[in-house]
Amino acid sequence: MNFAVIGGDMRQVKLAELLAEDGHNVAAFAVDKEYMGAGAVTRKGSLELAGTDCVILPLPVMGKEGLLSTPLSSESLTIQDTLFNLPPEAIICAGKIDPATRELARHRKLELIDYLEREEFAVANAVSAAEGALMLIMSETAVTVHNLKILVTGFGRIGKILCHRLWGLGAEVSAYARECADLAWIKAYGYHPVDPGVLDDSLHEFDVVVNTVPARIFGESRLKKLNPGVWCLDLASKPGGIDFIKAAELGVPVLWALGLPGEIAPVTSGAVIRDTIYNILKEEGAM
Amino acid sequence: MNFAVIGGDMRQVKLAELLAEDGHNVAAFAVDKEYMGAGAVTRKGSLELAGTDCVILPLPVMGKEGLLSTPLSSESLTIQDTLFNLPPEAIICAGKIDPATRELARHRKLELIDYLEREEFAVANAVSAAEGALMLIMSETAVTVHNLKILVTGFGRIGKILCHRLWGLGAEVSAYARECADLAWIKAYGYHPVDPGVLDDSLHEFDVVVNTVPARIFGESRLKKLNPGVWCLDLASKPGGIDFIKAAELGVPVLWALGLPGEIAPVTSGAVIRDTIYNILKEEGAM
Amino acid sequence: MNFAVIGGDMRQVKLAELLAEDGHNVAAFAVDKEYMGAGAVTRKGSLELAGTDCVILPLPVMGKEGLLSTPLSSESLTIQDTLFNLPPEAIICAGKIDPATRELARHRKLELIDYLEREEFAVANAVSAAEGALMLIMSETAVTVHNLKILVTGFGRIGKILCHRLWGLGAEVSAYARECADLAWIKAYGYHPVDPGVLDDSLHEFDVVVNTVPARIFGESRLKKLNPGVWCLDLASKPGGIDFIKAAELGVPVLWALGLPGEIAPVTSGAVIRDTIYNILKEEGAM
Amino acid sequence: MNFAVIGGDMRQVKLAELLAEDGHNVAAFAVDKEYMGAGAVTRKGSLELAGTDCVILPLPVMGKEGLLSTPLSSESLTIQDTLFNLPPEAIICAGKIDPATRELARHRKLELIDYLEREEFAVANAVSAAEGALMLIMSETAVTVHNLKILVTGFGRIGKILCHRLWGLGAEVSAYARECADLAWIKAYGYHPVDPGVLDDSLHEFDVVVNTVPARIFGESRLKKLNPGVWCLDLASKPGGIDFIKAAELGVPVLWALGLPGEIAPVTSGAVIRDTIYNILKEEGAM
C128 contacts on B by Cβ (under 8 Å)? 144
Q: Over range C46-75, report the average pLDDT.
A: 91
Q: Compare C186 and C64 and report the one with higher pLDDT.
A: C186
SS3 category, C259: coil
Taking phi over 0 as left and psi of -120 to 50 as alpha, with beta for the rest, C148 belongs to: beta
In this complex, the residue of C121, C123, C184 whose CB is nearest that of residue D119 is C184
In this complex, the residue of C119, C120, C164 whose CB is nearest that of residue D189 is C164
- Per the document, the length of chain C is 287
Q: Which helix (H) or strand (E) holds A173?
A: strand A172-176
C262 neighbors C271 (Cβ within 8 angstroms): no
Q: Most C CBs within 10 Å: which of D117, D123, D282, as the mutation test of the C interface? A: D123
CA distance A37 to C258: 61
Say yes or no for a CB contact (<8 Å) between A144 and D268. yes
C266 contacts on B by Cβ (under 8 Å)? 142
Rg of chain A on CA atoms, in Å: 22
Q: How far is CA D130 from CA A143, D32, D118, in A?
A: 13, 30, 18
Question: C85-127: per-residue pLDDT in tens?
Answer: 999 899 999 999 999 999 999 999 999 999 999 999 999 999 9
A190 contacts on C by Cβ (under 8 Å)? 146-147, 170
In this complex, the residue of C168, C264, C267 whose CB is nearest that of residue B168 is C168
C56 neighbors C6 (Cβ within 8 angstroms): yes
CA distance B199 to A37: 35
Residues sharing a CB contact under 8 Å with residue C267, sequence separation 6 or more, in sequence order: B142, B143, C14
Q: Assign 3-state DSSP to chain D and report helix, strand, coil percentages, each to 5.
A: 45, 20, 40
Say yes or no for a CB contact (<8 Å) between A138 and D142. no
Say yes or no for a CB contact (<8 Å) between B119 and A180. yes
pLDDT for the residue D251 = 96
- Per the document, the length of chain D is 287
Confidence of residue D39 (pLDDT cuts 50, 70, 90): low
Q: How far is CA C257 from CA B208, D114, D162, in A?
A: 26, 43, 33
Dump the DSSP string for D29-59: ESS-GGGSPSSS-EE-SS---TT-SEEE--S
CA distance B210 to A24: 38
C167 contacts on B by Cβ (under 8 Å)? 168
D185 contacts on C by Cβ (under 8 Å)? 123
Question: D130-174: per-residue pLDDT in tens?
Answer: 999 999 999 999 999 999 999 999 999 999 999 999 999 999 999
A143 contacts on D by Cβ (under 8 Å)? 265, 267-268
Regions of chain B short of the pLDDT cut 50: 40
Strands laid side by side in the B2-6 sheet = B42-43, B25-29, B2-6, B54-56, B91-94, B112-114
A14 neighbors A59 (Cβ within 8 angstroms): no
Q: Most B CBs within 10 Å: which of C139, C143, C173, as the mutation test of the B interface? A: C143
Chain A residue closest to C144 (CA)?
A: A188
Percent of chain D whose pLDDT exceeds 70 = 97
Q: Does residue A265 have a pLDDT over 80?
A: yes
Say yes or no for a CB contact (<8 Å) between B123 and A189. no
Q: How far is CA D208 from CA B189, D211, D230, D233, D245, in A?
A: 20, 10, 5, 8, 19
Question: Does pTM surpass 0.90?
Answer: yes
Q: Torsions phi, psi of A221, nearest 5?
A: -60, -45
Provide the shortest C-alpha distance from residue C23 to chain B (in Å).
Answer: 20
Amino acid at A218: F
In this complex, the residue of D123, D184, D188 whose CB is nearest that of residue C188 is D123
Beta strands in chain C (DSSP E): 2-6, 25-29, 42-43, 54-56, 91-94, 112-114, 149-153, 172-176, 192-194, 208-211, 231-234, 254-256
Residue of A134, B147, A136 lying closest to C265 (CA atoms): B147
Work out the angle at residue C251's Cα, subtended by the Cα atoms of residues C245 and C256, and round it to the nearest 5 degrees.
Answer: 55
Print burial letters for C52-61: b (CB count within 10 Å at least 16), e (below 16).
Answer: bbbbbbbbbb
ipTM of predicted complex: 0.91
Question: A73-113: per-residue pLDDT in tens?
Answer: 988 999 999 999 999 899 999 999 999 999 999 999 999 99
Say yes or no for a CB contact (<8 Å) between D143 and A265. yes
Say yes or no for a CB contact (<8 Å) between D128 and A142. no
Confidence of residue C42 (pLDDT cuts 50, 70, 90): low
Q: Most C CBs within 10 Å: which of B18, B144, B267, as the mutation test of the C interface? A: B144
Residue C38 CB-half CA count within 13 A: 0
D166 neighbors D173 (Cβ within 8 angstroms): yes
CA distance B219 to B254: 13
Which alpha helices (H) appear in chain A, and where do they start and end?
10-21, 79-85, 99-107, 119-140, 157-168, 180-188, 199-202, 220-225, 244-250, 260-264, 266-283
Question: C16-36: per-residue pLDDT in tens?
Answer: 999 999 999 999 999 888 787
CA distance D248 to D220: 11
Question: B175-220: per-residue pLDDT in tens?
Answer: 999 999 999 999 999 999 999 999 999 999 999 999 999 999 999 9
CA distance C129 to C269: 10
Question: C182-235: per-residue pLDDT in tens?
Answer: 999 999 999 999 999 999 999 999 999 999 999 999 999 999 999 999 999 999
pLDDT for the residue C47 = 81
Q: Which residues of A touch C (CB under 8 A)?
A: 146-147, 170, 187-190
Amino acid at B55: V
In this structure, how many other beta carbons lie within 10 angstroms of the beta carbon of residue B206?
22
Dump the DSSP string for A29-93: ESS-GGGSPSSS-EE-SS---TT-SEEE--SSSB-STTBB--TT-SS--BHHHHHHHS-TTSEEE
Q: Say which DSSP state C117 is in.
A: G
pLDDT for the residue C48 = 83
Strands laid side by side in the B231-234 sheet = B192-194, B172-176, B149-153, B208-211, B231-234, B254-256
Residue of B98, B96, B89, B81 lying closest to B29 (CA atoms): B81
Question: A14-52: per-residue pLDDT in tens?
Answer: 999 999 999 999 999 999 887 876 554 666 667 888 899
Chain D residue closest to B190 (CA)?
A: D170
Question: D218-241: per-residue pLDDT in tens?
Answer: 999 999 999 999 999 999 988 899
SS3 category, C244: helix
Say yes or no for a CB contact (<8 Å) between C144 and B134. no
Percent of chain B whose pLDDT exceeds 90 = 86
A127 contacts on B by Cβ (under 8 Å)? 188
> For chain B, what is the mean pLDDT?
93
Question: D254-287: per-residue pLDDT in tens?
Answer: 999 988 887 889 999 999 999 999 999 999 998 8
SS3 category, D283: helix
Top-confidence range, A204-208, C37-41, D25-29? A204-208
Amino acid at A232: C
In this complex, the residue of B118, B164, B188 whose CB is nearest that of residue A123 is B188
Q: Most D CBs within 10 Å: which of A10, A21, A143, as the mutation test of the D interface? A: A143
C254 neighbors C242 (Cβ within 8 angstroms): yes
> For chain D, what is the mean pLDDT?
93
In this complex, the residue of A170, A187, A189 whose CB is nearest that of residue C190 is A170
Provide the shortest C-alpha distance from residue D142 to chain B (in Å).
Answer: 17
Q: Which residues of B touch A (CB under 8 A)?
A: 118-121, 123-124, 126-127, 161, 164, 180-181, 183-185, 187-189, 279
A232 neighbors A252 (Cβ within 8 angstroms): yes
A170 contacts on C by Cβ (under 8 Å)? 188-190
Say yes or no for a CB contact (<8 Å) between B120 and A189. no
Q: Which residues of B touch D (CB under 8 A)?
A: 146-147, 170, 187-190
SS3 annotation, chain B: CEEEEECCCHHHHHHHHHHHHCCCEEEEECCCHHHCCCCCCEECCCCCCCCCCEEECCCCCECCCCEECCCCCCCCCEHHHHHHHCCCCCEEEECCCCHHHHHHHHHCCCCEEEHHHCHHHHHHHHHHHHHHHHHHHHHHCCCCCCCCEEEEECCCHHHHHHHHHHHHCCCEEEEECCCHHHHHHHHHCCCEEECCCCHHHHHHHCCEEEECCCCCCECHHHHHHCCCCCEEEECCCCCCCECHHHHHHHCCCEEECCCHHHHHCHHHHHHHHHHHHHHHHHHCCCC
Q: Does residue C76 have a pLDDT over 60?
A: yes
Question: A204-230: per-residue pLDDT in tens?
Answer: 999 999 999 999 999 999 999 999 999
Say yes or no for a CB contact (<8 Å) between C147 and A188. no
Say yes or no for a CB contact (<8 Å) between C170 and A189. yes
Strands laid side by side in the C172-176 sheet = C192-194, C172-176, C149-153, C208-211, C231-234, C254-256
Provide the shortest C-alpha distance from residue B84 to chain C (in Å).
Answer: 34
Strands laid side by side in the D254-256 sheet = D192-194, D172-176, D149-153, D208-211, D231-234, D254-256
Work out the angle at residue B113's Cα, subtended by the Cα atoms of residues B108 and B116, and round it to the nearest 5 degrees.
Answer: 135
Q: Does residue A5 have a pLDDT over 90?
A: yes
Say yes or no for a CB contact (<8 Å) between D139 and A142. no
B80 neighbors B74 (Cβ within 8 angstroms): no
Question: B246-269: per-residue pLDDT in tens?
Answer: 999 999 999 999 888 878 899 999
C118 contacts on D by Cβ (under 8 Å)? 180
Q: Most A CBs within 10 Å: which of C146, C150, C183, C191, as the mutation test of the A interface? A: C146
Residues sharing a CB contact under 8 Å with residue B158, sequence separation 6 or more, in sequence order: B126, B129, B130, B133, B212, B235
Say yes or no for a CB contact (<8 Å) between D10 and A142. yes
Percent of chain D whose pLDDT exceeds 90 = 86
Binding partners of B (≥3 Cβ pairs within 8 A): A, C, D
Question: C141-192: per-residue pLDDT in tens?
Answer: 999 999 999 999 999 999 999 999 999 999 999 999 999 999 999 999 999 9
Chain D residue closest to C158 (CA)?
A: D188
Say yes or no for a CB contact (<8 Å) between D188 and C120. no
Q: Torsions phi, psi of A126, nearest 5?
A: -65, -30
SS3 category, D9: coil
Print burial letters for B162-192: b (CB count within 10 Å at least 16), e (below 16).
Answer: bbbbbbbbbbbbbbbbeebbbbbbbbbbbbe
Residue of B63, B73, B81 lying closest to B10 (CA atoms): B73
SS3 category, D207: coil
